[in-house]
A and B are shown apart, each in its own frame.
Chain A
Amino acid sequence: MKHYFKVFLALLNISAKNYLEKRWNVFGIITNSTISLIIMVIFVNVYFSFSKEIFGWTKYQVFLLTGIYRCVSSLFYVLFFRSINWIPNYVQRGTLDIFLTKPINSQFYITFRLTRIFELFSVLTGLVLVYYSLQKMDIMVSIINWSFLILGLLAGLLILYGIYFSLSTLSIWIGRFSGITDVFYILREPLAIPLDLFGKTTSFVLTFIIPLGFIITVPVRLFFGMSPWYFLFFGVFFASLAVWFSSWFWNFSLKHYTSASS
């Protein structure tokens, strides 16, 4: 709807201005992302200095995965992280009340309230790594595989959103949730490596029970043709489920919030 799009733009605008108020922020992002990327490259190099292949993954394949991981997690930071992270804060301070009186869907408003457009720079560093890996691998990748990758990653982004938003919603039930930032850290860190490394059982659990595998690993596997094509549909299924659940749980929790407090 046009209204929601206009509000989205207004929120992007105000968040960006807010971010620029702290002058060092932009400088910080640039240096941080660059150093971070270099360190990840060093890590991968160290792992592969001992073995040419790890559980079926070669060095440049892992580089590509690392780059993709950078892109996706940075994109999550751009769009969702801060907004979701502040939900416990809104609940504790009562600011949630103000949002609930506004003529706009509360989940939408809260989701997009604190975007970080400047983190797109980090996405750029990820893309640089992806490009570099592709050059080094010298392989032909079809348009189909590229589409699988991109669609898979979009689904993955939504899965991450659904899981994190739902977890943050728990703050309505427990009153305070300072650990919410670390919850994201716990979810995100394992995504930097191919989940196959966790061994058969664990990676099954991490793919089909808690669908973390569909965020980065599966889309990249689809890209390399390591996974069968129908895995894309699993990903889309989990993405829809995640977003639907986050919405259902949010509304369910609001019912509790509006009846149990004073």
Chain B
Amino acid sequence: MKKYWVYFKLNFQEMLEYRTDVIIWTLSGAILPLIGLTIWLAVLGSGAKLAYSYPELVTYFILAMTVEILVGAWGAWFISEKINNGDFSVYLIKPVSVLTEYFIQNMSEKIFKIFVIIFVIIGVVLASQGKIAFPLNILNWLLFFTSLLMSILIAFLLDFILGLSAFWFHEIDFFKNYISLSNQLFSGKLIPVAFLPATLFNLAVFLPFRYIISFPIEVLLGKLSAENVVLGFGIQFFWLTFFFLGYKLTYSKGIKLYQGFGG
């Protein structure tokens, strides 16, 4: 257990060295929800009838920014590089597993990012003159945190598998781009899933992207009927299991291939 704490401290220290970068990365995570908020407030302001009111939109996108920061995973590129230049062999010898190492690094950076995003949130609240719909239902908060935990894991595993795909594909940029594009459409970062037209909405319900950002927020805001909450959790749990098994499979098959090549 101690070694994880030491590792965490080291990562945090190193991160302080590049704190400007971390601040920028936090802001870049917030930019899409901020643009989304601007657009939908403008749509509302032009007289349209939306399923979300002004305060609800502000709250939604504040939550979207926060959840985005909390679920973020960025190890894919680093993992793929290590695989490509042979440094991955180190993990076959070290006593800390690859997954744990990246997870700790991920968490240590997030702690700093949370501080940064709080400032952005304050800014947004001030800019909207405090018109937010702070959710008061305790049950919804509990469900939110449960779902959020699963989101964090799903996002992390998905990113990890993406990195591991370097065992087979030299360039992972392709898949990264497609995932990122799908994310824009189905995750609710820019367009709340509830606003999507029928066909896209149905797709969104079954694809994993909604369960990374949008679903926990929809639960918290109380916008879903009881059946839909249960259905949502079911699908989210399905995707979590799917990506967990996917990670295990990719890792074991990938390692075999990697060792076959002599690293």
Contact = CB atoms under 8 A, between A and B. Distances in A.
Direct contact of A and B (CB under 8 A): yes
Interface of A: 22, 24, 28, 32, 35-36, 39, 42-43, 45-47, 49-51, 53-55, 174, 176-179, 182-183, 185-186, 189-190, 192-193, 197-199
Which of B28, B177, B200 has the most C-beta atoms of chain A within 10 angstroms of its own C-beta? B28
Q: What is the predominant secondary structure among interface residues of chain A facing chain B?
A: helix
B20 interface: yes
A197 B38 contact: yes
Contacts of B25: 179, 182
A49 to B, nearest CB: 7
Interface residues of B, number: 36
B191 interface: yes
Nearest to B21: A179
Contacts of A178: 18, 21
Contacts of A45: 197
B56 interface: no
Nearest to A28: B174
Interface string B132-151: 00000000000000000000
Contacts of A189: 31-32, 35
B184 A197 contact: no
A179 B46 contact: no
A53 B42 CA distance: 10
A182 B20 CA distance: 12
10 contacts: A24-B174, A39-B181, A42-B185, A46-B196, A50-B48, A54-B43, A55-B45, A183-B24, A193-B35, A193-B38
Interface of B: 18, 20-25, 27-28, 31-32, 35, 38-39, 42-43, 45-50, 171, 173-174, 177-178, 181, 184-185, 190-191, 195-197, 200
A195 B58 CA distance: 19
A192 B48 CA distance: 22
Given A55-B46, A176-B18, A182 B28 contact: yes
A51 B24 contact: no
Given A177-B21, A182-B24, A39 B46 contact: no
Contacts of A199: 38
B42 A46 contact: no
Contact of A51 (B28, B43, B173, B197): B43
Contacts of B45: 55
Contact of B28 (A24, A174, A186): A186
Nearest to B17: A176
